[in-house]
Every structure is written in structure tokens, then in C-alpha cells.
Chain A
């Protein structure tokens, strides 16, 4: 019996990768962010890491944030993401643990038999552990791999959320500019209206009407202020910064790209590229593997084999084996098998569900992206030039004393309203662009060049 045990141990020692990797499994995350986002990320563990991080962030925060620098900051500084990174350490520890033999148990018994002193010594090793260690290592290795994908996916999610929040904050700030213009136009009208009434040229009704435009405009400006605050704080949280004044934003959203990206079979791209789907696949494989494990060990999972060496004082030591075997009298393991099978099927459906959701999400995101692009372009190419034309023509009619200054101001209000709508449409496009990237698992096949303009 000695030989098989030694053989098993040798196999275990040769095959088990029961040691910590130099990168702690983080290379999957860094390669994912590098390949899919073009960005770096790091685990922050030590004081030196913290200092290095501060050095990296400072230049990024010194200038108005681009969407790229926002994503970079979030990848490095989002504390929730750093917490997620630590799951890698936990998973790797589990893996290393799985590959290690349980420590042998040494038993020592000293008893008296009359005047005789009996000493029992035993050394037991969990044999099943020895037998199952390669299998457990493979399972933990898969789980570790799955964790690496999940953590990388979490990094991509944070990047997508950051892009989302970035455009939201930028758009809200820009929209507030137009809300302020509307308010300014209304204020000028209200003030002029008051003076008109004071000079006797206008009735209280006309004056009140102009003042009411102003009152409404102030309301909308306050709502715009709320949007700016909320959207900026959302970005602050994703960037992991202490204060909303730690960064500045550019004045305006990036221009619309020259053309929208044309993609075919976006759902296939999503299935191929998305890390959450890859992780779900691995999880299913792991479940399948552990189901096999359960099947093979259902009768022997309590089997223990150990060397026994008893010695009594004055007598030569007693050596031999001790073997205990669970008798499957009450528990035939069927419940465990059923549970494992159910768990497996749960995983199968979950994977299918994830895949269906991912494909649908990809199609929806792409549709939304195209429609958002068309809408923003419609605003840019049709709505805004027409508003400009109307303003020009209104001005000409003011020149000819065909219209009054109040119509000029009303037009200025309407033009700002249209500009507000355009900014909203442009913001929605960039958010749709971010959502599409997220739905397709990272960078788009060919990045829109509008961002660089």
C-alpha cells in the first residue's frame, strides 16, 4: 500500500501549481483594460503604491478632463474597483490552498493500565484530500480564472460607467449654459417690460406676461443646476475623488463623429468579446467539474487512511494501518448528486440567460447608437441651421420695424431651447456610444474619430 500513496503524492507535487503567481492573476485585468480600453490599471496595496498613484493622477487632473483621462483615473482610483481587485488575492489563495495537502495528523495517547504506561502514537493523513487534490486544484484554478475575468469585467464596467457619467456631467453643464441664456433673455424681457409699463406704454397684463416668462426660466435654471450637481457628483464617485472641485471639465461635448460606425451581427461580437459571458462559461465548466467530483467521491469522501504506530512502554511498538470506511447505509449521496445536478442546470440556464441578455443588449445598444447619431445629426444639420435662419430673419424683421424687441428675445429663448435640445441629443449620442462599447465588451471595432476633434 505504500507505493500507491507515494505515487499519488508525487503526482500531486508534480502536477499541483500550489504556489502564488508573481502578478496575483492581475495580468488578465491589465491586458483587458489595455486591449479593450487602451488604459492601465494597478492594484494599490502599499504606501508606495498610494504615492505612485498620486503622482499619476496629478497631471491628469491638472487639465480639463477628457473622457480618456476620466476612464484612466477611474481605473486607478475607483475604490470599489480596488476592492474588487482584492478578490483576485482571495481566489488565488483558495487555489493555492486547494493544491496543498492537509497537514498529517499526529495522535499521541498516554494511558495507564495499572502500573503500565501505554503510549499510542498515530500519524494520519487525509487520503481523500491527497487523492482529490489535483481535481480540487483544477476546480480552483478554473474559479481563479473566472474571478480574473470577472474582475477584468468589473474594470470594464467601471470604465463604461465613467464614460457614461462623464458625458452626463459635461452635457448637463453645457445645457445649463443654455438654460442660463434663456433666463437672461427672459430677464431682459421682464426688465424691459417693467420699464415699458413704467413709461406708460404697456399694461400690467403685458408686463406680467414678460415677468412670468422670466419666472419660468428661473425655475428651469434651478433644475439645470440640480442636474449639474447630481451628474458631477456621480462622476466624482466613479473617479474616487474627495471633492467635486478636484477636476475641471471641458466647455463642450466632443463633436459628432463624421459617420456612425456600421456593424454587422453585433450580437455575435458581444458573445465573442464580452468578459462576463466568458466568465459565465467558466463558471459552468467549474460547476460541471465539481459535479464529477461529487460523483466520484460520494462514497469515499470520508475515507481516511493513516499509518498507525502504537507503542506501549516496555513493549515493542505496534505498527500497522488504520482504515475507516463510511458505510452508505443511511446516506447514499443521492441528495448531493441531485443538488449538484440542479446547480449545474442552474448554471446552464444562467449562461443561456446571460447570452440572450447580452445579444439583446448589444442589438438594442447598437440600434440606440444609430438612432442617437441620426438624431444628433438631425439637430446639427437641420434644427440648428433652421433656428439660426429664423433668428436671422427675425433680426431682419426687427430692423424693418416689422417685429418688436420682445419677439427678438422670444426667439433668443427659443433658439437657446433648441440648442439645449441639441446638447441633449449630442450627450445621448455619446452615452449611447459608451453603452454600445460596454455591450460589445470594450472598444468598438473602429473608434469614432469625432472624439479626437
Chain B
């Protein structure tokens, strides 16, 4: 895990935008830092402006700014990027400043924010600041509140970040294509008082999805629901970093959903409360305990809990296909199908053929060659073998000895004696369990309309 990589070394600023903007405007533009790594970067401690407790963007980074006349100035460059979805697979996406999703923007309640947006895409774009209360003309809806930012042009947005909370940014121009291509980023407005809503570890990521044909690199932008890569911040397990916390830490996880379906996010080993929604912070009296929270399309949720249970806890979307990587959605079920004789026949024609799926979907650690630039349907090795997961799955690692601001992966949890499920090796009951009666084929052979008790 490269999450400890020095932030500055990973974000060596490249004056990307400078080449595009006019000479007259260049002098007044802040630099547009570039991120080339898909690893989780450590929190960016605010060098100036109002103090706040920074977030950690899962497999992402926070965009540095400059203060000018008491205004926080950011520079986003919309451009094609190559994103590593997991080791072994890259995607040609559209993003911001070298990555998709783009960098997280962190500001403090009441900050005046000026964001320069340079368009290096082949078509016009815009940015909508999802959830912000701002002047209508800063809302970034092409045609409605502004013209599109033409390729090569730079627009500037300016408003005051009024309400603290969790937000997102994404285009409101050709958004079907641009969001399918990965144009999005997180936005966190911290409260003016750093002590308010204070947590020990504050994670943020977006739920997004892509349909990239195995062997291809560009997402299919016309796919509506049948995606094959369900991602946290455009990463799939085992490419997603774990959420590393110290035992007893108060943990916040902020997630925004920019896919086209809902995601019930489930945390093992702990119960949590939903403390924030799109509308703001939930009053303490209105919070209820959960172990799963459904994040609907276009929504954001902040959940909080005290990580009191040490261990390696699964954290995932509860839609089981969403914890898979690229898989065939039209593959027939083979369970229970006798292959004797047929397998040899098929082998005579297709020598590399192996029977799969007749006993279920588990591939039992089979290492078979796959098409280029794709990932196994489920993979990721754990201390006890194949985790058989992909997609929107990661691990919450709660450790006793983890240092306060240390996000380094501590390795696999070592279970104290007597706390691990184990094989029963004692005596078994003498009698076999009663066998199910054989299915009566005649009960299935009913003529249409002749079913007893059916009324027309």
C-alpha cells in the first residue's frame, strides 16, 4: 500500500492549465497541481486560512489551494486521465488534475472560494457544485445558468461555502457521458469551529460505476444499469485501500452516490449512526442505529461510530453483484448440471476447456488467464484464502496499537485464542439427517389453467 507516500512528492505540481489559458489571464491563475498516483494520500493539513480537521480521501487526494486577498483559489483542469482501477487494470477516463475522481476540495464554513475550471476535454463542460447554497449563476448548469465551458477555455466560479457538510462536484453538461467517463469529485465544508463534529478519522469517497468491456479501456457511456465495475472512488477491491483506524477512534465515513442505483453500505462489527445527509448534520436526537445505510442516487451520507472492536471488518455494498468485478450477466447457471461425458466431448473441440460453475460460482483459487486489462470476477487474498470479493468492498481495520495519525496498513488481524471459528473435530451424531423426498415430476407437470384452486 502506497498510502504513506509523501503527499508533496505525489503531487509535484505541473502547470497543466498554464498551457491552455490566455497569456493575459495566466498571471492571475493559481497553479493546477497534478496527481499521478491512485493511492490514498495522507490528510492535507491546512497551511493557511481557517484551521480544520482534514479528511482522508479513499484512494484519492485533496486539492491544494492558494490564498489571494482572503479568497481560497483552486484550479481544476478537466481532462482525459488514465486511472488504475486496480493493479492489472487501467481505464481511460475523464477526470480532473490527473485523476478520476478529481481531488477533494476542502474548505471551511464561511470561506470565500474562487475555483478556476479549465477545460481540456474535446467537448464543452461545466461544474455543478452539488448541495451548495450559492448564487444561481454559479450553479453550473449549461444552458440554464451559464454557457458551456468550451474546449480550451477557463471559467471561474466564486461563492461562499455557507453550510458545513459533505458535497460533490460534477459536470452539468453532457452529464450522461461525462459522469459515465468519471467526471466527479468530493467536497467537504468543515465547520468554522474545528471542535464541532470532531472525529479522529474522517474518510470520504464517492460511489461510482463503469461499464468497461474486458480487454477495453474506455467505459461504455450508454450503459444505464448493467455496469461491470462498481467502485469506491473509481477503485475496485482488491485495489481499494483499507480504512485503517485505532481502536477507540471515533470514525466518520462520508460517501456520495453518483451511480444510477442505490447502494446499501454495510459495516461489519459495529453499529453506526447516520450523522449527516445532503441537507446537513442530523440532530443527535434524530439519529438511529444502523449497520447498513442505503445511499440513494445523488445522495450523500456521513456515518459515525466508535471503532471499539479490533479486527478486520468487511465494509461493502450489500448488493452482491456490486462486490464482484467484471462478470458475465448472461451466463447461464450451471449448478447441478451433470457434465460427465460432455466435458470430454467439449475438450476434444476446445482443449483448454474446464468445467466451471456446476458446483457454484466459487472458482476455488483457480488461476486462469483472463482477457487483457480486466480483473478476476472476485479475488483478493486474505489470511485464510481467497476473499472472493471485488467491486465495492473494502476492510475496516481496527487496531489497538495504531498511532494517532497513522493510516499505514497494519497487516492481517491476529485473533486472540478462542476467538476464531474453527472446524469441529469432535463426535458427530450417529444418524444421518433425514433426506428430502424426491421431487415428484408430476407436480410440476400442470397444464395451464388446470391448476386446482385457480379461478378465472
Contact = CB atoms under 8 A, between A and B. Distances in A.
Interface residues of A, number: 32
The prevalent SS among residues of A at the interface is: helix
Give the interface residue-count category, chain B.
35 or more
Contacts of B341: 191
Contacts of A399: 368-370
A164 B336 CA distance: 53
B346 A188 contact: yes
Contacts of B327: 400-402
Interface stretch (B94-102, B202-210, B231-239, B348-356): B348-356
A403 interface: yes
B326 interface: yes
Contacts of A196: 332, 334, 337
A404 B328 contact: yes
B215 interface: yes
B371 interface: yes
B414 interface: no
A402 B326 contact: yes
Interface in B356-389: 356-357, 361, 363, 368-371, 374, 376-377
Nearest to B336: A199
Given A401-B327, A401-B331, A406-B332, A395 B214 contact: no
A200 B336 contact: yes
Contacts of A200: 336
Nearest to A391: B350
A406 B363 CA distance: 19
A418 interface: no
A340 B439 CA distance: 97
Given A396-B370, A402-B214, A408 B357 contact: no
B333 interface: yes
A410 to B, nearest CB: 11
B342 A188 contact: yes
Contacts of A360: none
Contacts of A393: 215, 371
A412 B350 contact: yes
A409 B349 contact: yes
A184 interface: yes
A108 to B, nearest CB: 93
21 contacts: A185-B349, A192-B337, A195-B337, A196-B337, A201-B333, A201-B337, A206-B332, A393-B371, A395-B353, A399-B368, A399-B370, A400-B214, A400-B370, A400-B374, A401-B327, A402-B326, A404-B332, A405-B346, A405-B356, A408-B350, A412-B349
Q: Which 7 A-B pairs have the closest CB atoms?
A: A399-B368, A188-B345, A402-B328, A199-B336, A412-B349, A396-B371, A404-B331
Interface of A: 181, 184-185, 187-188, 191-192, 195-196, 199-202, 206, 391, 393, 395-406, 408-409, 411-412
